[in-house]
Amino acid sequence: MGLEAKLNKDGFITTTLDAIIAWARKSSVWPMPMGISCCAIELIAAADPKYDLARFGSEVMRFTPRQCDLMIVAGTVTYKMAQVVRRIYDQMPEPKWVIAMGACTSSGGMYRSYNVVQGIDQFLPVDVYTAGCPPRPENLINAVMTIQQKIAKTKARDFQDKPLLENIDK
């Protein structure tokens, strides 16, 4: 099956660089676990052996933004925390993606209040929104797979002119 069968037959495959780079990229999405409140518990559950995010190449939660390319914002973002989230996002090298995990990050959720940002898309470019309060691990895994589909469609040259770090303070 799959690649192994090809290897037995011919010993080589032909493809495009774009395809193979996108394939490599989507198969090792390293998340930044931006666990701010209760969604973080489901984020942990998604990474544990039962749900096993590792099946999709995303098991390496990096606690430094410099080694990540996917930010999973898991939890209520207050106006005070928004500055921190954005600062961490700015430190992630290009190309990078964002999952808004749960109701709070997507829309403010049940916190319809003066201190909570009503949707992190007010200051971050969100790629995938995840419904739920908190979302089940399957839901988060689905979000990661959606990101993978998005990455698979990218071309390597989409990112070549972008500097590695853009908005960061010099």
Partner 1 sequence: MGFKELIIQKVKEQFDNSIEEIKEFRGDLSITIKKEKIVELAKLLKEDNDLHFETCIDVTAIDWATRKNRFTVVYHVYSYKNNFTLRIKANIDDNPPQIESVTSVWKSANWYERETYDMYGIIFINHPDLRRIYMPEGFEYHPLRKDFPVLGIPGSLPLPDKID
| DSSP structural state of residue 130 | E
C-beta closer to partner 1: residue 99 or 140: 99
C-beta closer to partner 1: residue 64 or 167: 167
C-beta closer to partner 1: residue 60 or 82: 82
| Min CB(130)–partner 1 separation in Å | 20
| Min CB(135)–partner 1 separation in Å | 24
C-beta closer to partner 1: residue 27 or 83: 83
Q: Which residues bind partner 1 (CB under 8 A)?
A: 79-80, 82-83, 86, 112-115, 117-118, 122-125, 167
Residue 35 makes CB contacts below 8 A (sequence gap 6+) with 43, 44, 72, 74, 75
| Min CB(89)–partner 1 separation in Å | 9
Using DSSP's 3-state secondary structure scheme, residue 88 falls into helix
| Min CB(122)–partner 1 separation in Å | 6
